[in-house]
Amino acid sequence: MYIGIFDSGIGGMTLLHQAMVLMPHENFIFYADTDHVPYGTKTREQVTSYVDEVIRFMMGRDCKAVVIACNTATAVAAELMRSRYESLPIIGIEPAVKPAVAESMGKRVLVVATPLTVHEKRLRKLVERVDDGHLVDLLELPGLVEFAESGEFVSDNVTAYLQERLSGYTLDDYRELVLGCTHFNYFKDTFRALIPPQVHMIDGSLGTIRQLMRVLDSRQELLDPLPEAGVDWELVKNNICVRYFESGREITDAVKLDTIRQLHERLEKMRKI
């Protein structure tokens, strides 16, 4: 059986990559909904219908669990999908606001995400629940999704975009930067160069994969659990079974598969920042 992982695009590979390191014995289906990317600037009705279509696809492909590797899709549709497909474990990623506030030591927390995530009730409620000291600010960065989808990760345009978007914030007052969109992990090196050294970056991918492992374990469906830290990417990267799909069409083209290989290499580099 497979673990299905999906996103609007390449952002979800952040979670796939993390899952491959922690669960190299599993088989994966990765689905990028490239016909509909970006989700973050669509309506909640549109995103809900895309997510429903992907989950049905996963159910038809022998998936024992599905990971919504997209903060936007989780915010909009996770609860509805869980009530609609009760027998299927559905795990979603959320911006890591709670640990960020806990670790901020009274300094400010900046959450960056897509416009839809920022405007969704789910994130607002999460912030209300954990942000007693009114330390959290929310910032939309839809441009990063476009840069990521066009393969532009490090460039003057990316730097200028982020500089402009961050210019209204006194970054010395901040302690945590929450990457609340899975596409943003590709830009950790540029973020690192622009934010003061005391600002720590955090995202929900590790917590989400750990949650997936707990859920599978509780159903006796987790294959060969590993020690906490997982395995060395270099040792496993060529031996893990992953099938890649673009909006339902399996990717078999060698050039595209090589691009995917390069994205994994970038993510491995970003994981260590």
The catalytic site residues sit at: 70, 181
Q: Which is nearer to ligand DGL, 24 or 95 (CB)?
A: 95
Residue 36 CB, nearest approach to ligand DGL (Å): 8
Q: How far is the CB of 10 from ligand DGL (least distance, A)?
A: 8
- CB-nearer residue toward ligand DGL: 72 or 104: 72
Q: State the binding string over 132-161 for ligand DGL (x if CB under 6 A, else -).
A: -------------x----------------
Count of residues near ligand DGL by CB under 6 A? 17
Residue length, the chain?
Answer: 273
Binding segment (CB under 6 A) for ligand DGL, from list 38-46, 198-206, 207-215, 239-247: 38-46
Strands 27-32 and 241-246: parallel
Q: Which residues of 35-57 are buried (b: 16+ CB within 10 A; e: fewer)?
A: ebbbbbebebeebbebbeebbeb
The Cα–Cα gap between 271 and 12 comes to 14
Interacting residues of 212 by C-beta distance below 8 A, sequence separation 6+: 3, 19, 65, 67, 89, 91
In angstroms, rounded to a whole number, what is the distance separating the alpha carbons of residues 244 and 263?
Answer: 13
Q: Does 11 bind ligand DGL (CB under 6 A)?
A: yes
- Please state whether beta strands 136-140 and 90-92 pair in parallel, antiparallel, or not at all (unpaired): unpaired
In whole angstroms, how close is the CB of 92 to ligand DGL at the nearest point?
Answer: 10
In degrees, rounded to 5, the angle at the alpha carbon of residue 39 between the alpha carbons of residues 66 and 203 is 65
Min separation Cβ 99 and ligand DGL, Å: 17
Chain contacts with ligand DGL (rule: CB under 6 A): 7-9, 11, 37-40, 70-72, 114, 117, 145, 181-183
